[in-house]
């Protein structure tokens, strides 16, 4: 099998196997080929990983942030040196085209190691609080053993986005990738060891929705960071609450992207396409409700169709391919069922909606799909589809579109395209979302905080803000004089 790792899990600096676990088959979505066979973690494996993380953490926390950061920066260098190899693995794991993975996956993971490695010495400082003669100071201390649980759309990026801030702040991590994409995180764990990370600090265990609770409920776990759907978020949050564990929730969305009639049309269409078709539409922050002001509706749709029909679909390993398959048959079938719902509820299919004809029949491909005349009540305008399906809705004025954009339980992201500077800022101010863009869409460099509001979650990844979610404050009051007691 062409991507078979040495073993399923990576614990305490080495590959570990336990064939008593349920079999997880890793499938290359472009062809249906089984590329690796792994085992879900048994309770014994989970115990082993958490014990290693617990043992290794105090010594790591006692090192200086500069020394910890140096190791992460070395890991970033190794990731960049191996970008091609890691990107090919990411393409096999997810089906995403190599054209994307080579610029967006291991590289964004490396950015995360480099950024957190660099800022740690300054960003982990505490405060000095003068109190007259007495004073106090605060220390930012690590939480301990952190659990990371990943989704399948950006497996290597998620493994790094959680690992980098956790580690640099002095924590250890046990990471569970999605059962659909188990391979990339193992390589990240290997690279961290090669970069000099002491054993036991970054462990990877495989498993599915029955393995997750073993990690989340473990008494030695201090924090859980989940990237996944809203229903999973509710379960994980509830389980973490029972143990009063810290949580970060990066969940789903149904984000609005608003195009006013003064917008640069080509840019707005480009933004809408990136925000619906990149990674075959499997991006949490996608702007899947594209609100277009009525005056430009016809020209927007005509040019959108033209550009969408020109998208190159095919073999993800071919550098020319722009759109690959969905991650799995289950996800493909789910997206097709939404396409059928869109048609039956009266949305107008502008383009796509079927299986492309130039691809392997075993691949889980879907044509990039655009629906127009979508209304707010339709299922496709309310539920997260997580596939290459764009819904275009019309609007008349600003107040109306802001109200409709906010009429959702989700609040992950939002975008506005307009040439009117004051309107752009006024509208983003009113939109209920955690991450917003003006005249661009979906850009998430490591320097900026990323995360959601409402049902899309809480806590932030990336930027110095993420470190707050992997540390807690310790306050020390220092008495400088005699204690005056009234008794
Ligand atoms: P999912 O919720 O099905 O699974 C996510 C992870 O949680 C998997 O590793 C799964 O094994 C695990 N899991 C499932 N049930 C669990 C439980 N009870 N306890 C512990 N772990 C459990 O999500 P998915 O289908 O893998 O990914 C798609 C979803 O993720 C979409 O909703 C998408 O919007 C969201 N997502 C969000 C972000 C973000 O940053 N906000 C990023 C990517 C994906």
How confident is the model at residue 232, as a pLDDT?
Answer: 98
Taking the centre of ligand 1 as the mean of its atom positions, its distance from the CA of residue 294, in whole angstroms, is 36
How many whole angstroms separate alpha carbon 378 and alpha carbon 382? 7
pLDDT digits (tens, 9 = 90+) for 415-453: 999 999 999 999 999 999 999 999 999 999 999 999 999
Cβ contact 176:207 at 8 Å: yes
pLDDT digits (tens, 9 = 90+) for 58-72: 999 999 999 999 999
* Best probe residue, ligand 1, of 22, 151, 221 (max atoms within 8 Å of C-beta): 151
Residue 93's pLDDT band, with cuts at 50, 70 and 90, is very high
Q: Is the CB of 252 under 6 A from ligand 1?
A: yes
How many whole angstroms separate alpha carbon 37 and alpha carbon 21? 11
| Two structure tokens written together for 153 | 């759309």
* Best probe residue, ligand 1, of 229, 275, 410 (max atoms within 8 Å of C-beta): 229
First to last CA, the chain: 78
Measured from the Cα of 384, ligand 1's closest atom is: 32
Nearest to 147 by CA among 56, 227, 86, 82: 227
pLDDT digits (tens, 9 = 90+) for 140-164: 999 999 999 999 999 999 999 999 9
**Strand duo 256-259 + 435-438: pairing:** unpaired
Taking the centre of ligand 1 as the mean of its atom positions, its distance from the CA of residue 228, in whole angstroms, is 2
Q: Whose CA is nearest to atom 13 of ligand 1?
A: 209
Q: Is the CB of 328 under 6 A from ligand 1?
A: no
Is 59 part of the annotated catalytic residue set?
A: no
Cβ contact 155:230 at 8 Å: no
Other beta carbons within 10 angstroms of residue 178's beta carbon come to 24
Does residue 53 sit in helix, strand or coil?
helix
How many whole angstroms separate alpha carbon 473 and alpha carbon 476? 10
Q: Is the CB of 41 under 6 A from ligand 1?
A: no
Tokens 């691949």 — which residue? Answer: 363
Taking the centre of ligand 1 as the mean of its atom positions, its distance from the CA of residue 139, in whole angstroms, is 33
Is 160 part of the annotated catalytic residue set?
A: no
Backbone angles phi, psi at 230, to 5 degrees: -60, -45
Taking the centre of ligand 1 as the mean of its atom positions, its distance from the CA of residue 254, in whole angstroms, is 15
User: Which residues make beta-bridge pairs with 226?
Assistant: 149, 249
Cβ contact 441:256 at 8 Å: no
Residue percentage of the chain with pLDDT more than 90: 99
pLDDT digits (tens, 9 = 90+) for 98-144: 999 999 999 999 999 999 999 998 999 999 999 999 999 999 999 99
Residue 358 has pLDDT above 90, yes or no: no
CA of residue 390 relative to chain centroid, distance: 20
Rounded average pLDDT over 169-190: 98
| Two structure tokens written together for 401 | 């579109």
Taking the centre of ligand 1 as the mean of its atom positions, its distance from the CA of residue 236, in whole angstroms, is 10
Tell me the DSSP string of 341-380: HHHHTT-EEEE--S--SSS-TTS-----EEEES--TTSHH
Cβ contact 430:410 at 8 Å: no
How many whole angstroms separate alpha carbon 157 and alpha carbon 205? 17
Residue 82 has pLDDT above 90, yes or no: yes
The chain-wide mean pLDDT, for the chain, equals 98
Rounded average pLDDT over 192-202: 98
pTM: 0.97
Q: Is the CB of 18 under 6 A from ligand 1?
A: no
Nearest to 117 by CA among 177, 72, 55: 72
Rounded average pLDDT over 268-283: 98
Nearest to 446 by CA among 84, 142, 65, 162: 162
């Amino acid at each position: 099998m062409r991507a078979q790792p040495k073993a399923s899990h990576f614990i305490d600096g080495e590959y570990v196997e336990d064939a008593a676990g349920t079999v997880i088959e890793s499938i290359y979505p472009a062809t249906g080929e089984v590329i690796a066979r792994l085992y879900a973690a048994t309770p014994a494996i989970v115990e082993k990983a958490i014990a290693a993380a617990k043992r290794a953490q105090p010594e790591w926390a006692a090192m200086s942030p500069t020394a910890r950061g140096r190791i992460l920066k070395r890991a970033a260098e190794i990731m960049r040196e191996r970008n091609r190899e890691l990107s090919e693995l990411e393409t096999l794991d997810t089906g995403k085209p190599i054209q994307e993975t080579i610029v967006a996956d291991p590289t964004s993971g490396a950015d995360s190691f480099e950024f957190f490695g660099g800022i740690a010495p300054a960003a982990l400082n505490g405060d000095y609080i003068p109190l007259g003669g007495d004073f106090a100071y605060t220390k930012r201390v690590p939480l301990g053993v952190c659990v990371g649980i990943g989704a399948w759309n950006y497996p290597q990026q998620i493994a790094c986005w959680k690992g980098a801030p956790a580690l640099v702040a002095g924590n250890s991590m046990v990471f569970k990738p999605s059962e659909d994409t188990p391979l990339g995180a193992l390589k990240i764990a290997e690279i961290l060891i090669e970069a000099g990370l002491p054993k036991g600090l970054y462990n990877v265990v495989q498993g599915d929705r029955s393995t997750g609770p073993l990690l989340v409920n473990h008494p030695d776990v201090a924090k859980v960071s989940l990237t996944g759907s809203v229903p999973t978020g509710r379960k994980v949050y509830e389980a973490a609450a029972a143990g009063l564990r810290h949580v970060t929730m990066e969940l789903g969305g149904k984000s609005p992207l608003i195009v006013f009639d003064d917008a640069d049309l080509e840019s707005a269409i480009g933004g809408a396409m990136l925000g619906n078709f990149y990674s075959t539409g499997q991006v949490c922050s996608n702007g899947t409700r594209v609100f277009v002001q009525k005056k430009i509706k016809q020209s927007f749709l005509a040019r959108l169709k033209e550009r969408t029909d020109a998208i190159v679909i095919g073999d993800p390993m071919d550098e020319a391919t722009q759109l690959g398959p969905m991650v799995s048959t289950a996800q493909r079938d789910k997206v097709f069922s939404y396409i059928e719902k869109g048609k039956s509820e009266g949305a107008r299919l502008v383009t796509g909606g079927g299986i492309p004809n130039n691809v392997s029949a075993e691949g889980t491909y879907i044509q990039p799909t655009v629906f127009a005349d979508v209304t707010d009540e339709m299922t496709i305008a309310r539920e997260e589809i997580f596939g290459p399906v764009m819904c275009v809705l019309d609007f008349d004025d600003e107040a109306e579109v802001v109200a409709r954009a906010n009429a959702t339980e989700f609040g992950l992201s939002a975008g506005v395209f307009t040439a009117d500077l004051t309107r752009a800022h006024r509208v983003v101010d009113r939109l209920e979302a955690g991450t917003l863009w003006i005249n661009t869409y979906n850009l998430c460099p490591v320097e900026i905080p990323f995360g959601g509001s409402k049902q899309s979650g809480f806590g932030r990844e990336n930027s110095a803000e993420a470190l707050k979610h992997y540390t807690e404050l310790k306050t020390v009051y220092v008495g400088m004089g005699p204690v005056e007691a009234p008794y």
